[in-house]
A and B are shown apart, each in its own frame.
Chain A
C-alpha cells in the first residue's frame, strides 16, 4: 500500500487551519508521484486524501465541516500507484471536499499560490451535482469556460464583486479546475465592451445572462 516498505514519510507538521491544508493540497497536486495526505485536527475527525485516485475519506458528512478546524497537523506520504490505501473505507470523490476547503481557507483573499492580476481559464467543470453551489457560481464558472480572466474581470462580466470572484477562483484552483494564462495576455475583447458605469453593471449582467436568469427564476426560484 505505502511506497518504500510501508513506512510513513512525514512532513513537518503545520498548525494554522484550512489555509495550511489548502496549501498542502496544492503542493501535493504538483508532485508527479501518488501521495496520501492525512489531516489531523484538534476539533474534528481525521481526514485522508488519496491523490492517486482523486478520493477522500472523512467519517462525517461535509456539511459538518467546521469553518475553523482548530489546530491542524498535515502529514504526507507516497503510496504505490494502483494500490489505494485503506480499501475497507468508503472513499468519495474529492471535488466536494476541495470546494469546501477552498471556500473556508482564504475567505475573499487570494490563495497563497495565485499571483495578483493573473488570468485564469476553466480547465474542467467541477461535478456540480455533488457540490452545493449558487446561481452566481454557475455564471462565473461558465464565463471562465470562454476565456482567461482576472478576478476583477470575472466579477465585471458576471455582475459579482471581486471578492466573490476571487473566492470562486480559489476554490477552482484548489481543485485543479482552472489553469493560469502562463504569461502576459490581453484581456478578451468582451472586457473592453463591458466597462459600464457602476449603476449600469447589474442591469447589463442580467441582460448577458437572460436565458439563465429566466430559467433559474422559473425552476428554482432564482437561487
Chain B
C-alpha cells in the first residue's frame, strides 16, 4: 500500500485561432508549435509508457477550443504544410552545417523529430491526434477532463449565470461527442473560482474541479488537512487544491527545473540568427523574423553568450530532475502521512504547453518521472482524481475561497487598465443573447443559423485569452481585434435577428470563418428564470 498519492494534471489549452482568410497567420502557429513541441511528444511518451506496461496515471484537461482546432480539417491540412516546410528547413540545415560538429547533429536531431511527427500525425493518427487521447483514456491510464467552452473567465462572465451554464454545457457536449464519455472532472479556466459557480457544474454531472492553493487553504470552515485531501462543497462536488511545493519545483523562474543551464534555450532560434535571404522562406512572409523551432543553444547561464546544446547531457539532467521530483514527493508524503488521516494526495497541475514548447525536455521528464515512480519506490503512487474519490474516504465539507492561479492569486490579471474595457461589452452581449434565446424558443432555417452563430460569436468573445494577452503586452493588437470582431459580429446578428433582416450569405460566410461547435444550440443561453436545465437528463444518460 502506498502511503500517499500524486495527481499530475496537464491543462492543454490554446485559444480558437483559425484564419482561412489569410495565406499565413502568425497566430495559427501557436497551434502548430503546440502540436510539434508539446502534444505529439506527450503522445509519444504516453504511448511508450503504455507499451512498456508502466503503471501510471495522468489527468489531462483538453480545452474545447483546442479540441475543436485539433479536429478541424482545414487546420490539420495547414499543419501538414507547416511541418513539410520545417522538414525542408531541417534538411537544408543538415547541408549548411555539414562541417560543423556542434550543430550538424542538432540539425539531424530536428529532422528526425519532425519526420517522426509527420509520421505520427499523418499516418498513425490520420491527421487527428484526438484519437490518441481517446485511446489513452480507454486504457485507464489517462483521465480526460474538460474546461470552459472557450476558456471564459467564470467570475466575470458569471454575472449572468446563464453564461457559465453555456460555457459548461457546450464544453461537456463537445467532450462527450469527441471522446465517447462524459467528463467527470472540470478545469475551471485559470482556476478562477467564485463560490456558487460549482453548483452549475454539479447540475451537469461534474464530480470535481480544481482550485489554486488558497482556494482551499482559505476555504471556510478551515479544511483540516489543507490541500492534501480534497474537500467537498456543500453542493457535493469535490475540490482538489494545488500543492505549492511541487508547483514551485517546476514553475519557479529561479529554482525551477526548466531553467537548468544544460537545457535547450527557448529564445535563440535560427529564425533570428541566420542570414536573411537563407531563412526568408521560413519566417513571416512580410520578412519579419520569427521563431522557426530550430534552436541550437543551451541556456548556458544568465549572459547572452550561449554554448551549443548537447542533448545527451540534457537527457542526464532530465533523469536527475525526475529523480529529484520523485524524492521530494516521497519525503513530502512521508511527512504528511504522519499528519493527515486519510492517505495524503499531492495535486500537481501544470499548463501542458510548458512541457515541450517552453521546457523542451519536459515531455521526457514526465516519461522518466512516471517510470521511476512506478519502478523505483512504493511510497507514492500516481492516481487520477476519480480514483482518489473512489477510495471512499470521507471528505470535509467546506466552501472554497474565491481565487485564481493568475499572478497575485485573484483576478487582477484579467481586470486591470489594459483589459477592463472589455467587460461592458461582454455583459451587454450576454444579456442580449439571453434575450434572443428567450424570445425565439423555436425557429428554423436561417433564423436558427443566425441565432446559433450569435451564440458562437459570444462564446468566442468570452475567451479569457483576449484579456490575458492584453495584460501580457505582446500580440495585443491581435487580441483587441479578435475581441472587437466577435462583439461586432454578434451585435450585427442581434440587430438582424431582432429586425427580421438576416442576410443568409453573410451568416454562411461567418460560419465559414468562426465554425467552432458545429452542434451548438443557441438555447443553452435561455434564462434560468424561464426554463429548467433541459439538457440535464440527456447528459446524465450518457
A and B part of one assembly:
no
Q: Interface on B for A, CB 8 Å cutoff?
A: none
Q: Interface on A for B, CB 8 Å cutoff?
A: none
